[in-house]
């Protein structure tokens, strides 16, 4: 009886957990044999714009075509040289046909392939195009999602590649770890810079119920033991509270806060925000890392609190944290596929918004929201103020080499602050210090394209 129950339990587990992964594995050649009977289905955006389709010429030769070229390369993926992106994740649905059974029979008798089902994504082609143009030749990534539903509207990585010619350019695309094949949105690992100050602020609030009484007199730098940390351009911010420390992105103030934090509690908060943890993500991703422990020294605490140190995070993960703040502390499960339809457009399967995890309390989220509003209204992201839509956010500059002029630029935020709508996460890699907030105008260009 125990053996029987064990076998039955495994069969259930296999079908629910392991089975779908095996079915959709790019190495599962048995599923690909379905292509002998079924014409691979289309992938479209939320408005029906075709992102991937199979075209058949007069000789019966099939070609997988991607009308938007490099714009959707990382999220939609390709089918040559294995499968990636949604082409891999939705392989089963694309090679399944729910065509009306009479039409299926007719096609069988005529030796014709049945049309595979259509994957209708949550993606917005116009917004993706705006992000692609805004990011331009910069290396980096953009993620845009809905705070209240978890729908991903845009996922962009640059540099990109043309999935229509991936086979011809395969050798050139695999030159090094900076390959254009890397999806920087989900697989990129970066120092978060000052965007991490929202995490440090949350921890400080949890440890100090009277956090509203915090003050710090910024002299443009802070020195503790043998470690000196400077504010951006050594700016002297003067007397600050917690709100202005965030609005001005004061490194000295946050290094001071870092010295006061409990290491175990700090690590616990980071864990609750999904650092060192599995992320809800349909595509391949890199886990974010947070390394503070009881053994961490003061210098590491100072650096980590301001977003440097050993912390690594992806733009996608920062979008999830921002989404939870916007949504009252609750992270909605992010998703890329809205529904599956057959060739005639009849709905076969529908995905609905669902809660994933409460990352913080509603009161904590509300307070962080107000602090992030100050960043735009009076702080480092004022370029986003004055529009017909409101924005709350956080800028970040992350040094990644010994040269302080070599930095990544970040922006995370959300729109319509009182009733949050869009969440955005932007990173621009490796600019040469010619501007302190390159990600902000890119975010503004994308948001303007959506609202105007």
What residues does each domain of the chain span? Answer: 193-337+353-451
Q: CA-to-CA distance for 316 and 145, rounded, in angstroms?
A: 10
Residues 6+ apart with CB under 8 A from 88: 24, 26, 77, 82
Quickly count: other Cβ atoms within 10 Å of residue 321's Cβ. Answer: 27
Q: What is the pLDDT of residue 178?
A: 72
β-bridge partners, 8: none
Q: What is the pLDDT of residue 405?
A: 59
Q: CA-to-CA distance for 308 and 290, rounded, in angstroms?
A: 11
For the cut 70, the answer to whether the pLDDT of residue 136 exceeds it is yes
For the cut 60, the answer to whether the pLDDT of residue 435 exceeds it is no
Pick the CATH number of 193-337+353-451 from 3.90.280.10, 3.40.50.300, 3.40.710.10, 3.30.70.360: 3.40.710.10
Give the chain's mean pLDDT.
92
Q: What is the pLDDT of residue 175?
A: 74
DSSP 349: E
What average pLDDT does this structure show over 2-21? 82
pLDDT tens, residue by residue, 341-387: 998 999 999 999 999 999 999 999 999 999 999 999 999 999 999 99
β-bridge partners, 188: none
Question: DSSP secondary structure string, 198-245?
Answer: HHHHHHHHHH-TTGGG--EEE-SEEEETTEEEE-GGG---EEE-HHHH
Q: CA-to-CA distance for 156 and 282, rounded, in angstroms?
A: 15
Closest to 337 measured CA to CA, from 287, 412, 283: 283
CB contact at 8 A, 434 and 442: no
Lowest mean pLDDT among 36-40, 174-178, 241-245: 174-178
Strand 140-146 versus strand 355-358 pairing type: unpaired
For the cut 60, the answer to whether the pLDDT of residue 442 exceeds it is yes
Higher-pLDDT residue of 173 and 202 is 202
pLDDT tens, residue by residue, 107-135: 777 778 889 999 999 999 999 999 999 99
Higher-pLDDT residue of 144 and 35 is 144
What average pLDDT does this structure show over 133-145? 96
Closest to 51 measured CA to CA, from 117, 113, 140, 123: 123
What average pLDDT does this structure show over 213-233? 93
Confidence of residue 403 (pLDDT cuts 50, 70, 90): low
pLDDT tens, residue by residue, 249-269: 999 999 999 999 999 999 999
Q: What is the pLDDT of residue 130?
A: 98
Let me know the angle formed at the C-alpha of 391 by 385 and 393, rounded to the nearest 5 degrees: 105
């Amino acid at each position: 009886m125990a053996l029987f129950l064990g076998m039955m339990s495994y069969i259930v587990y296999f079908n629910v957990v392991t089975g779908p992964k095996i079915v959709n594995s790019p190495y599962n050649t048995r599923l690909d044999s379905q292509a002998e009977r079924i014409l691979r289905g289309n992938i479209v955006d939320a408005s029906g714009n075709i992102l991937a389709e199979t075209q058949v010429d007069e000789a019966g030769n099939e070609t997988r075509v991607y009308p938007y070229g490099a714009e959707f390369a990382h999220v939609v993926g390709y089918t040559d040289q294995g499968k990636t992106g949604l082409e891999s994740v939705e392989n089963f649905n694309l090679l399944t046909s729910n065509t009306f059974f009479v039409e299926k029979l007719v096609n069988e008798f005529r030796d014709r392939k049945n049309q595979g089902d259509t994957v209708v994504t949550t993606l917005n082609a116009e917004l993706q195009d705006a992000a692609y143009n805004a990011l331009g030749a910069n290396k980096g990534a953009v993620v845009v999602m809905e705070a209240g539903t978890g729908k991903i509207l845009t996922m962009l990585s640059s540099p990109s590649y043309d999935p229509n010619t991936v086979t011809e350019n395969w050798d050139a695309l695999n030159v090094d770890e900076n390959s254009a094949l890397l999806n920087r949105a989900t697989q990129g690992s970066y120092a978060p810079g000052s965007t991490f100050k929202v995490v440090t602020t949350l921890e400080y609030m949890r440890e100090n119920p009277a956090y509203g009484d915090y003050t710090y007199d910024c002299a443009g730098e802070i020195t503790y033991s043998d470690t000196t940390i400077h504010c951006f351009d050594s700016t002297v911010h003067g007397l600050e509270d917690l709100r202005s420390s965030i609005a001005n992105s004061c490194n000295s103030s946050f290094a001071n806060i870092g010295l006061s934090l409990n290491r175990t509690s700090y690590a616990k908060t980071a864990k609750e925000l999904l650092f060192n943890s599995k992320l809800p993500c349909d595509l391949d991703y890199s886990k974010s890392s947070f390394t503070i422990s009881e053994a961490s020294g003061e210098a590491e605490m100072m650096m980590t609190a301001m977003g440097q140190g050993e912390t690594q995070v992806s733009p996608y993960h920062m979008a999830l944290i921002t989404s939870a703040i916007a949504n009252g502390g609750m992270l909605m499960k992010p998703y890329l596929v809205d529904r599956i339809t057959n060739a005639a457009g009849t709905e076969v399967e529908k995905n609905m918004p669902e809660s994933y995890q409460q990352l913080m309390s509603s009161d904590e989220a509300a307070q962080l929201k107000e602090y992030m509003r100050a960043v735009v209204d009076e702080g480092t992201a004022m370029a986003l103020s004055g529009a017909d839509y409101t924005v709350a956010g956080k800028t970040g500059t992350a040094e990644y080499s010994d040269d302080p002029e070599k930095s990544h630029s970040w922006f995370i935020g959300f729109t319509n602050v009182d009733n949050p709508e869009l969440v955005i996460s932007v990173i621009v890699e490796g600019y040469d210090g010619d501007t302190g907030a390159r990600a902000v105008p890119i975010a503004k260009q994308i948001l303007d394209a959506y609202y105007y």
